[in-house]
Structure 1
């Protein structure tokens, strides 16, 4: 609802070393990313499904999350961890690590080189929209060798496979008609049907659409100016945490429905000139589609 009052964001724990959290996110994401490439078994198949028969989990998702939990737990035993596969473990430090062992699992299964490991450190309760925020994070694509990373107030950066580092800046397209927009789709048929209806109405009014298959990489693409905007319904905290920070530290706005924080109902990320217009248009289209 436009004009809604957002909850007050949680304060940082006293004495928190954000640079150290960023380094840990980078190191952990890198090690986990190498694991899912180097240890991938031949004939990888589906271990189980989640929301539908097409929402897959592989043995590598499970193994990678165990590795992430072990690495983070060894480095910071007092922190909480929330992961896609194994849920939440409690902590006492005020920091929760929100991890996605393979964001883009279907791409990984089909060997499409658009998947990543996402590792984010957050404050607050990541299960309550508007009551948490990321403070450090990394998103690593182990196939391209690209590491996106950021910490609160420190800017967003990309280190490529050759080790070259550059600061990221979101694009400045201000009109929908000139915007290249990324999106994604849910796994349940009824959800995809509604999402397709929104897209069908939106696409005549934008430059074009892209669908990569990884929410975290889409958010980083906004940060890098590779797309002008990204939106999706149905994201979970582990899809969002690290990429949200990378995007905002690159100057993008990340929000939900107008006046609301990013949440499962909608996430919109775009450069500041475009964000409000896209969010308002999507809210109108979603009302009709629903």
Structure 2
């Protein structure tokens, strides 16, 4: 099968187990939470517990690999593989009971920074819908057994786009200015609240494109591979035009330059 497929299969198995833990903890937490602060504590604990499960599984199966996670930071391994993990992407949705959150797991080679790594396998799993998106480099992107293909180009009515906004009020004016620049390309705009699923939806043709400022490496590591393996392009404001916290953009090739130019301003 090759290394990429082996890592993809392992990530699928772990993502399913981790996603079920997240789903169960959400149900249990809501049942016992009496206040918003209590629910916030439960969500935070669920994040940590799910990441701990993923780390434990990877340590058992791949003890020499490195790890970069949202909750616990980076650890360089002895091998050339680093796992980049967001245990619960879309925690606000998760807290509010919106069924748009995901476990995101990617395996990358090279230096564990987006400008220097190469993603070789990826999984994005939504426990609420049981949808699982996965890819191995060179073998396409898939939703279950269905191969994914990005939309070749938007309809004459414009592109269906997605974006997101950070939690810092100081960034909102700039984000809204970016939306204003992009809207001439759009037929409509979606804001679903989980970056990994936005990337997956671009790969699946459910969105024509996605752009957002403020993403962290674990937000886009898996999703970016899904998009490129589905025939799309990913870039942004990072070194060499890579996706970064400054800007991340994903869409089909015919839309990419226009969307990137508008989003960068």
Distance 1:177 1:130, change over 3 A: farther
Tell whether the 8 Å contact from 1:177 to 1:205 is kept in structure 2 after alignment. Answer: no
Task: Tell me, yes or no, if structure 1 residue 186 matches structure 2 residue 166.
Answer: yes
SS across alignment from 2:241: coil
- Residue number among 227, 242, 251 corresponding to 1:261 in the alignment: 242
Q: Specify the alignment match of 2:218 in structure 1.
A: 238
Q: Specify the alignment match of 1:124 in structure 2.
A: 110
Q: Specify the alignment match of 1:137 in structure 2.
A: 122
Distance 1:186 1:176, change over 3 A: farther
Q: Which structure features the higher share of helix residues? A: 2
CA distance in 2, matches of 1:71, 1:176: 47
User: RCO higher in 1 or 2 (8 Å CA, sep ≥ 6)?
Assistant: 1
Gaps of 5+ in 1: 1-14, 49-56, 160-164, 285-290
Cα distance per residue 1:235-270 (max 9 Å; x no partner): 111001111111110011001149511111111000
TM-score between the two structures when normalised by the length of structure 1: 0.84
Gaps of 5+ in 2: none
CA distance in 2, matches of 1:114, 1:196: 23
- 1:265-280, aligned counterparts within 5 Å? 265-280=246-261
Q: Specify the alignment match of 1:200 in structure 2.
A: 180
Q: Specify the alignment match of 1:34 in structure 2.
A: 20
TM-score between the two structures when normalised by the length of structure 2: 0.92
Q: Say what the alpha-carbon RMSD is for the aligned residues.
A: 1.9
Tell whether the 8 Å contact from 1:176 to 1:205 is kept in structure 2 after alignment. Answer: no
Tell whether the 8 Å contact from 2:64 to 2:77 is kept in structure 1 after alignment. Answer: yes
CA distance in 2, matches of 1:198, 1:256: 13
CA distance in 1, matches of 2:54, 2:208: 31
Distance 1:96 1:16, change over 3 A: farther
CA distance in 1, matches of 2:184, 2:256: 18
Q: Specify the alignment match of 1:70 in structure 2.
A: 56
Tell whether the 8 Å contact from 1:61 to 1:102 is kept in structure 2 after alignment. Answer: yes
Tell whether the 8 Å contact from 2:160 to 2:186 is kept in structure 1 after alignment. Answer: yes
Tell whether the 8 Å contact from 2:185 to 2:259 is kept in structure 1 after alignment. Answer: no
- Cα distance, 1:202 vs structure 2: 2.4
Task: Tell me, yes or no, if structure 1 residue 155 matches structure 2 residue 155.
Answer: no
SS across alignment from 1:39: helix
- Residue number among 46, 50, 58 corresponding to 1:60 in the alignment: 46
Q: Specify the alignment match of 1:247 in structure 2.
A: 227
SS across alignment from 1:220: helix
